Amino acid sequence: MAEQTEQQIQAPSPTAGQGPAKKSVVREYAESIIIAVILALIIRAFIVQAFKIPSGSMEDTLLIGDHLLVSKFIYGTDLPFTDKRLFKIRDPKRGDVIVFVYPEDPRKDFIKRVIGLPGDVVEGKDKQVYINGQLYVTPQAVHKETEIIPKEQNPRDTFGPVVVPADSYFVMGDNRDRSYDSRFWKFVTRDQIKGLAFIKYWSIDGPWYKFNIRWRNIGRLIK
């Protein structure tokens, strides 16, 4: 009996020397997916976000079907529940192409070019833009209609002068005759700006199934 008891004590257990129990395949996949989602949300919220151009208001700089990457950190990242921005590299400057929350409908995002900075006096005269009394020429701007609309009818061709408030920006589309922008609804505030559009990562003309890919647009920096 004593010998048998000793053998029983010395005998290793069935799990001795083995590592921890392996995770199930389902659990491993679930953890990987959760981590990937968290990383994607962090990247989207603080670093870069993808956008698609739905209209022609920025032609010919940006075409319908262009897919863009927008830097969200260059102007600083919003700290939730505060009015502070972290890690700001610089403020928006004249000529930047920005994505912002549409002031008249926060559910929509718009993309335009910054024309007027805080404190600037912006005025339009017969399709020409003046900033602080000086003619301002945007090389990317195009006019696809020759008609001059009177200021009394609408501000497309003649507007202002208006003074850009503090922490606000006057923006316009490059397709000047077919853009709904600050000429009509005034200004974009600093906290409405989502980021700087900087590169086209994909471009397709029409539905995806037609495969009309604009290869020459892919990888182009936005100027």
- What digits encode the pLDDT tens for the residues 177-215? 999 999 999 999 999 999 999 999 999 998 877 789 999
- Average pLDDT for residues 2-20, to the nearest whole number? 47
The mean pLDDT value for 91-114 works out to 96
pLDDT mean over 30-47: 64
What local confidence, expressed as pLDDT, does residue 45 receive? 57
Task: Tell me if 190 sits within 8 A of 167, measured CB to CB.
Answer: yes
Q: What's the average model confidence in pLDDT over 139-155?
A: 95
Main-chain dihedrals φ then ψ at residue 70, nearest 5 degrees: -120, 125
Measured in whole angstroms, the distance separating CA 116 from the mean position of its chain's CA atoms is: 20
Q: How far is residue 152's CA from residue 172's CA, in Å, rounded to a whole number? A: 20
Residue 117 has a pLDDT of 98
Binned at pLDDT 50, 70 and 90, residue 11 comes out as very low
Average pLDDT value for residue range 49-78: 91
User: Residue 40: pLDDT above 70?
Assistant: no
Quote the CA–CA distance of 121 and 159 in Å, as a whole number.
11
Q: Strands 97-101 and 109-116: what pairing?
A: antiparallel
Mean pLDDT to the nearest integer, 120-143: 97
Residue 7 CA from chain centroid, whole number:
72
User: What pTM was computed for the model?
Assistant: 0.79
Nearest CA-CA partner of 175 in 52, 93, 64, 61: 61
Closest CA to 201 of 57, 71, 41: 71
Catalytic positions, please? 57, 112
- DSSP label at 6? H
Give the Cα-Cα-Cα angle 51, 124, 58 (nearest 5 degrees): 20
Pairwise pLDDT comparison (190 vs 18), residue with the higher score: 190
- Per the model's pLDDT, the better-predicted residue between 35 and 65 turns out to be 65
**Nearest CA among 66, 75, 71, 47 for reference residue 174:** 66
Percent of the chain with pLDDT over 70: 79
Per-residue buried b or exposed e for 144-155, using 16+ beta carbons within 10 Å of the residue's own CB:
eeeeeeeeeeee
- Compute the average pLDDT of residues 5-33: 57
Q: Compute the average pLDDT of residues 162-169.
A: 97
- Provide the 10 A C-beta neighbour count for residue 210: 9
Confidence of residue 2 (pLDDT cuts 50, 70, 90): very low
Strands 48-52 vs 66-71: parallel, antiparallel or unpaired? antiparallel
Residue 46 structure tokens: 């603080």
Average pLDDT for 40-51 = 68
Model confidence at 4: pLDDT above 50: no
Q: In the structure, what pLDDT confidence band is assigned to residue 77 with cuts at 50, 70 and 90?
A: confident
